[in-house]
Amino acid sequence: MGSEDVKLISFWVSPFAKRVEWALKLKGVEYEYIEEDIFNKSSLLLELNPVHKKVPVLVHGHKPIAESFIILEYIDETWNQYPLLPHHPYQRAHARFWAATAEEMLMEAAWIGMCTSGDDQENAVKAAREAMEKIEEEIKGKKFFGGENIGYLDIALGWIPYWTPVWEEVGSMQIIEPLRFPGITAWMTNFLNHPVIKDSLPPREDMLVYFHSRRKALSSSFQGRFKF
């Protein structure tokens, strides 16, 4: 499959786009990377994803596919090497469930925690830790969520090991307490040391600058709006 066939419209610090990048790399699919300016959206992005106008968009043979979880399913169905989802329907459902649940419960809480302070932040951190507790049960005693190898759920939750610590630093908060979450803490190290992951992470210093500016821009809009 030549690189002319596959394009990824991405944004360097998007955890959603990064999932797609990891999936393509794990499968050894060559692709052309196209950096999008999400603050001044290109006509290409608006044409490829007119409904949500968001990255990532995967373009394969001129056909665009949007929404990172849907793209992961597409990639797994299109390129059979290195299967991402488990084989058995029940385990597949289980992986999809935790991917969606972490997105809904943990990512939103962690993000709001970063953007707020005071009671709002305290509530967000509490909600994030409660979600983390459930994920801890899932990873306890395993190297990866996928077992011995990185799989769909590892990729789906792959923002936790690298994005969360940056958000914690920017928001002056702590969500991942190593003593409370030993399974997640061990998995974070395993995940970040995987050769495909290690070589495709954005520079931490740039992330700090970027998320400090996001916190500043967004902090007022969250005040009192989100209840956990």
Distance in Å, CB of 76 to a copy of itself, minimum: 9
Task: Single out the segment in contact with a copy of itself by CB under 8 A; choices: 90-98, 147-155, 164-172, 193-201.
Answer: 90-98
Cβ within 8 Å of residue 176, ≥6 positions away: 132, 160, 164, 165, 168, 184, 185, 188
On the CB side of 168, CA atoms within 13 Å amount to 15
How many residues of this chain interact with a copy of itself, rule: CB under 8 A? 24
CB of 74 to a copy of itself, least distance (A): 4
Single out the residue of 37, 43, 63, 118 in contact with a copy of itself (rule: CB under 8 A). Answer: 63
Per CB under 8 A, the list member of 27, 34, 42, 73 interacting with a copy of itself is: 73
Distances (CA, A) of 39 to 30, 42, 54, 206: 27, 9, 11, 17
State which of residues 74, 82, 144, 228 lies at the interface with a copy of itself (CB under 8 A). Answer: 74
Nearer to a copy of itself, 39 or 90 (CB): 90
Of 171, 32, 162, the C-alpha closest to 115 is: 171
C-alpha 91/C-alpha 27 separation (Å) is: 20
Position 62 contacts a copy of itself (CB under 8 A): no
- Stretch in the footprint of a copy of itself (CB under 8 A) among 12-20, 67-75, 108-116, 179-187: 67-75
> Does 134 help bind a copy of itself (rule: CB under 8 A)?
yes
Retrieve residue 147's tokens. Answer: 């077992």
**Quick check: 69 and 17 in contact, CB under 8 A?**
no
* Contact track, a copy of itself, 92-111, x by CB under 8 A: xx--xx--xx---x------
**Contact criterion met (CB below 8 Å) for 57 and 48:** yes
Largest Cα separation within the chain, whole Å, is: 52
Residues that bind a copy of itself in the complex, under the rule CB under 8 A: 51-52, 60, 63, 65-67, 70-71, 73-74, 77-78, 89-90, 92-93, 96-97, 100-101, 105, 134, 225
